[in-house]
Amino acid sequence: MKELKILFIGDIVGSLGRKIVKKLLPELKKDIKPDLVLVNAENSAHGYGITEKIYNELIGEGIDAITMGNHIFDKREIIKSLEIFDKIVRPANYPPSVPGRDHLIIEKNGVKIGIINLLGRVFMPAVDCPFRTGEAIADKIKEKTNIILVDIHAEATSEKCAMGYYLDGKVSAVLGTHTHVMTADEKILPGGTAFICDIGMVGAEDSIIGMKKEEILSRFLTQMPHHFEPGESGDGLFNAVALKIAPETGKALEIKSINRVVPENELKEKK
């Protein structure tokens, strides 16, 4: 194998996000022919967490691995299942006693790929240091493979950029999630690590980060508490990145962003 092709899909938001993935993934698999497909699904269950049903749905549609973030435990039913599900990884810098896997190693087409999920600390819950944790787990994975993907789920642009440079040359890619807005800074860093500050999201195009506009606007205008609901109608937005990795060295060869709008009529289920 000359190059390993990877498709990493941005944060899925709600049922509309899942519909968009179901619609586009077969086409993207045909065009890109990825060896591995990953997605961040921490907002896949109506915007908050993931359920066992949705986990099985995504895996059934051809997703090879799922990363999460600060909403991982919002649906409490998932807590007892995290040890069973072998294709989902939680943020590694939660305390060691927290349920779930702190990394994954998946074999595809005879090649092993390590996957790490990290949670940022700036404007986020208090967790262990993502930098030291990420480096320690990357060193552990390197005993089995040079190909390592890192999802840094963080709020601050500076923190995600810092993670990219901190792990440059130590991992194959550092890919930002959480803020739901695709950035235009995809590049390969000097040490051979692919980087993007935020992959973006899959959800309602006419929304504020996938959530209904009215509720978020009311929060800003009144400063009163609101429960945000994901947009579940209208055109869909699909963000992802396509990577090419050298299997022997683990160095990134290419990173390309994918940004598509799917018309609402194409997402309606046929009767």
Q: What is the CA radius of gyration of the chain?
A: 17
- The CA–CA distances, whole Å, from 180 to 42, 79, 105, 209 equal 12, 25, 26, 5
Residue 86 tokens read as 């072998």
Instruction: Give me the active site residues, please.
Output: 71
Contact (Cβ atoms closer than 8 angstroms) between residue 239 and residue 182: yes
Query: What counts of helices (H) and strands (E) characterise the chain?
Result: 6, 14
Distance CA 217, CA 102 (A): 36
- Paired tokens of 36: 């591995």
How many whole angstroms separate alpha carbon 61 and alpha carbon 100? 22
